[in-house]
Amino acid sequence: MSQASAIASKGSLKDQIQIKLAELADLVSEDQYGTDGPGKETTFREIESVGYQVAQLAAAKFEATATQQHQQHFETAQPCPQCQQTCQPESLLQRKLLTRLGPVALPEIKFHCNACRRSFFPSA
Ligand SMILES: [Zn+2]
């Protein structure tokens, strides 16, 4: 691999994230203030408040995607934490979780051990 392509591939995902964030910033600004951006009387506090809401939305989207991907580890049979007997997934629940940036719905696969007569959530 050439040095240039090594640098390009090393930075490509981070670069793509920066490009998407810049696009997001433009869209939010246009949505919030119109194509000319914030008016002359807009304070930094007001801009910061919008930025915080954007952070909340971005965090919620990321957390939803990552938890969905993480959940795939638990779609197959799992050992009961008490007796180690193999148990099949029973149902998928949505748990409301309060994060530092607000509430998110967390998918959780519920397992039930017939031997112990207990439910467990291995992804939690
Ligand atoms: Zn058990």
Q: What is the pLDDT of residues 49-93, one digit of tens each?
A: 999 999 988 988 898 899 889 889 999 999 999 999 999 999 999
Reference 91, options 114, 109, 75; nearest CA is 109
Span from the CA of 75 to the centroid of ligand 1 (angstroms): 18
Question: What spacing in Å lies between the alpha carbon of 86 and ligand 1's midpoint?
Answer: 8
Digit-coded pLDDT (tens) for 90-116: 999 988 888 887 788 888 999 999 999
Can you give the pLDDT at residue 123? Answer: 82
Q: What's this model's pTM, rounded to 2 decimal places? A: 0.71
Q: CA–CA separation, 117 vs 119, rounded Å? A: 7
The tens digit of pLDDT for each residue in 10-53 reads: 579 999 999 999 999 999 999 999 999 999 999 999 999 999 99
